[in-house]
């Protein structure tokens, strides 16, 4: 962002998108993408998906392990340029851009290199951000003033936790399966402000009902509890937590709800208003398959009980928040959180393009496909291993995700065996997965290990079959 923007926003409540585009090349904003040879959305890119994709799934996810509409998904899978010599199954760490998105991203970068002020000239002084944020808001069930493009989940979690006004003695309830992206800022709050962080032991091997999670949090609320924080999907086991029920509990008890959504965008169909969370931090680079260093940050800015919040991206504070004395109801919090000086505009544009492509495919269909493929994997493993092997998340729709966690060995604490299995799956069979380690119970001194396998829209059943066969053979050899 440059100084041009700020002069326009003395009232703080205006959108920053007040500036008309100034075309230095005689290219209007409308013609920008077309003239640059960029396809703004998958449909416009000539990426056409076969008809007959079937009806959208019903509200309750069905795990259809037969994965119908093979033709449709083959068309989708053709959009990825991922190395065919390996089967990349670690989207939980980062995804892979579809070819049209990659082409767009390259083109954006070329334009910026050719004419460093091209985005400003063609998209306007706000780099088209209000339009991008409006696009995301429509896709993710919220208002445009409640969403911004962040750098990743970690960036979003920091912004949330350091923006809230926690005081000494306040308590935050969380789970014993959180990621360092949440734990690190929580630990800073603990050490800096003497905030109490309480890790609750969530079910792992005996996950059966949403009430287990809701009751656990409900039982532990005290007069000092100010917030609850949980992963929508834990990275340790891939279990989906009942986000809406937990956020409802928080609201009923006057608590702030903060969701680590690292595995939400691009895997699940999300509606932040329906979920009822106060804050949700997710990436654009994992399941959403946008460029690295992109994220989606939601900050509730409507309704009652808006928590006191201080923007950490203070570059626009003077113009956006300060004039209304940080009154949340009077300023565009998404915009206040958006600017951090010069941004990677190419990455933002490409991430929004990836989101448009997901809309084109259908987010509900994606969720159904991804979770069904994971269900197919679980069923195939169960068939192969019989009584042996341990799953850490059940094959039940409410808890299902694209992350499958499994340990084929008798000793769940044998980290060396899991590590050997991950290495040999890659070197001998071409499957790239990862392992996670975690405490089954909050007081455990030794970690439990699991393979963590990501199934996404660029995978198919044949690849899962190959993985199960390779995994079985190698695990027998390693177990000895
Ligand atoms: C639950 C969870 N939170 C946060 C992160 C960090 O994500 P990012 O790389 O988008 O910052 C991860 C990464 O794997 C994760 O699994």
Question: What is the full DSSP assignment across 257-279?
Answer: EEEE-TT-BTTB---HHHHT-SE
SS3 letters across 390-408: EECCCCCHHHCCCEEEEEC
Q: pTM value?
A: 0.90
DSSP state of 154: H
Give distance in angstroms: CA of 81 to centre of ligand 1. 24
| Tokens 């690295």 belong to residue | 292
What are the C-alpha distances in Å from 473 to residues 293, 350, 461? 38, 41, 19
Ligand 1 atom nearest to CA at 282? 10
Percentage of the chain surpassing pLDDT 70?
86
**Tell me, what's the pLDDT at 71?**
87
Question: CB neighbours (10 Å) of residue 161?
Answer: 24
Mutate to test the pocket of ligand 1, among 262, 266, 286, 296 (most ligand atoms within 8 A of CB): 262
Give distance in angstroms: CA of 152 to centre of ligand 1. 8
Of all protein residues, the one whose alpha carbon is nearest to atom 15 of ligand 1 is 262
* Ligand 1 neighbours by CB, cut-off 6 Å: 92-93, 152-154, 179, 181, 231, 235, 260, 262, 283, 295
DSSP bridge partners of 257 = 228
**Separation CA 338–CA 278 (nearest Å):** 17
Q: Using one digit for the tens of pLDDT, what is the confidence trace for 346-386?
A: 999 999 999 999 999 999 999 999 999 999 999 999 999 99
Beta-sheet strands, E only, within 156-261: 171-175, 196-200, 225-231, 256-260
Give distance in angstroms: CA of 337 to centre of ligand 1. 20
Closest by alpha carbon to 433, among 41, 55, 2, 91? 91
CATH code of the domain occupying 365-479: 3.90.1150.10
Sign, CA torsion 352/357/362/368? negative
Ligand 1 atom nearest to CA at 157? 4
Give distance in angstroms: CA of 215 to centre of ligand 1. 26
Query: pLDDT confidence of 314, banded at 50, 70, 90?
Result: confident
Query: pLDDT confidence of 39, banded at 50, 70, 90?
Result: low
**Tell me, what's the pLDDT at 364?**
94
CATH code of the domain occupying 153-283+295-343: 3.40.640.10
Contact yes or no for 41/357 (Cβ under 8 A): yes
**Tell me, what's the pLDDT at 85?**
94
The mean pLDDT of the chain is 88
Mutate to test the pocket of ligand 1, among 91, 153, 294 (most ligand atoms within 8 A of CB): 153
Mean pLDDT, rounded, for 44-51: 47
Ligand 1 atom nearest to CA at 155? 11
- Would the pLDDT of 423 be above 70? yes
What are the C-alpha distances in Å from 390 to residues 108, 183, 412, 466? 46, 27, 8, 20
Contact yes or no for 311/371 (Cβ under 8 A): no
Q: Domain ranges for the chain, please list them.
A: 24-72+98-123+356-361, 153-283+295-343, 365-479
Q: How many helices (H) and strands (E) does the chain have?
A: 17, 13
Q: Which helix (H) or strand (E) holds 462?
A: helix 461-479
**Separation CA 168–CA 392 (nearest Å):** 36
Query: pLDDT confidence of 49, banded at 50, 70, 90?
Result: low
Alpha helices in 296-414 (DSSP H): 317-320, 333-338, 345-361, 363-385
Q: Using one digit for the tens of pLDDT, what is the confidence trace for 435-480?
A: 999 999 999 999 999 999 999 999 999 999 999 999 999 999 999 8
Q: Do domains 153-283+295-343 and 365-479 have the same CATH topology?
A: no
Give distance in angstroms: CA of 154 to centre of ligand 1. 6
Query: pLDDT confidence of 193, banded at 50, 70, 90?
Result: very high
Q: Using one digit for the tens of pLDDT, what is the confidence trace for 83-127?
A: 999 999 999 999 999 999 999 999 999 999 999 998 998 888 889
Mean pLDDT, rounded, for 38-46: 47
Give distance in angstroms: CA of 287 to centre of ligand 1. 11
Of all protein residues, the one whose alpha carbon is nearest to atom 8 of ligand 1 is 153
Query: pLDDT confidence of 34, banded at 50, 70, 90?
Result: low
Mean pLDDT, rounded, for 50-64: 52
- Would the pLDDT of 45 be above 50? no
* Helix, strand, coil tally for the chain in percent (to 5): 40, 15, 45
Question: CB neighbours (10 Å) of residue 19?
Answer: 14
Better-scored residue on pLDDT, 36 or 188? 188
Burial of 84 (0-12, 13-18, 19+ CB in 10 A): exposed
Better-scored residue on pLDDT, 213 or 30? 213
Q: Using one digit for the tens of pLDDT, what is the confidence trace for 273-292?
A: 999 999 999 999 999 999 99
Give distance in angstroms: CA of 262 to centre of ligand 1. 5
Ligand 1 atom nearest to CA at 178? 1
């Amino acid at each position: 962002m440059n100084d041009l923007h700020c002069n326009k926003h003395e009232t703080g409540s205006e959108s920053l998108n007040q500036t008309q585009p100034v075309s230095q090349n005689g290219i209007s904003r409308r013609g920008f993408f077309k003239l640059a040879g960029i396809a703004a959305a998958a449909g416009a890119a000539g990426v056409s998906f076969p008809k007959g994709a079937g009806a959208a799934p019903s509200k309750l996810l069905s795990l259809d392990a037969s994965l119908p509409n093979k033709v449709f998904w083959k068309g989708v899978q053709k959009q990825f340029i991922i190395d065919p010599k390996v089967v990349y199954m670690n989207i939980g760490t980062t995804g892979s851009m579809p070819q049209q998105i990659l082409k767009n991203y390259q083109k954006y970068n070329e334009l910026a290199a050719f004419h460093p002020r091209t985005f400003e000239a063609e998209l306007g002084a706000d780099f088209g951000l209000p339009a991008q944020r409006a696009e995301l808001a429509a896709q993710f069930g919220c208002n445009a003033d409640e969403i911004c493009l962040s750098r990743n989940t970690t960036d979003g979690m920091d912004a949330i936790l350091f923006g809230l006004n926690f005081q000494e003695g306040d308590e935050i309830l969380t789970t014993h399966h959180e990621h360092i992206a949440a734990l690190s800022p929580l630990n800073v709050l603990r050490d800096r402000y003497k905030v109490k962080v309480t890790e609750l032991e969530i079910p792992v091997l005996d996950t059966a009902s949403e009430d287990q999670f809701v009751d656990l949090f409900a039982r532990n609320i005290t007069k000092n509890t100010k917030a609850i924080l949980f992963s929508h999907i834990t990275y340790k086991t891939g279990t989906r937590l009942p986000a809406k029920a937990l956020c409802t509990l928080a609201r009923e008890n006057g608590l702030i709800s903060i969701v680590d959504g690292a595995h939400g965008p691009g895997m699940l169909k999300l509606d932040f208003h329906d979920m009822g969370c106060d804050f949700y931090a997710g990436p654009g680079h994992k399941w959403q398959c946008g460029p690295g260093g992109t994220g989606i940050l939601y900050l509730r800015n409507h309704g009652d009980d808006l928590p006191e919040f201080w923007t950490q991206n203070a570059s626009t504070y003077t113009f956006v928040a300060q004039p209304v004395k940080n009154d949340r109801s009077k300023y565009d919090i998404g915009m206040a959180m958006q600017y951090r000086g010069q941004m990677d505009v190419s990455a933002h544009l490409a991430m929004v393009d990836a989101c448009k492509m997901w809309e084109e495919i259908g987010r509900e269909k994606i969720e159904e496909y991804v979770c069904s493929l994971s269900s197919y994997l679980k069923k195939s493993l169960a068939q192969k291993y019989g009584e042996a092997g341990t799953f850490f998340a059940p094959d039940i729709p409410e808890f299902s995700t694209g992350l499958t966690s499994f340990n084929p060995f008798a000793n769940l604490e044998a980290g060396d065996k899991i590590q050997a299995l991950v290495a040999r799956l890659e070197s001998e069979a071409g499957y790239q997965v990862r392992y996670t380690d975690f405490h089954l119970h909050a007081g455990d001194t030794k970690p439990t290990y699991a393979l963590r396998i990501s199934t996404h829209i660029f995978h198919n059943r044949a690849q899962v079959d190959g993985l199960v066969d390779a995994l079985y053979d190698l695990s027998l050899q390693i177990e000895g």
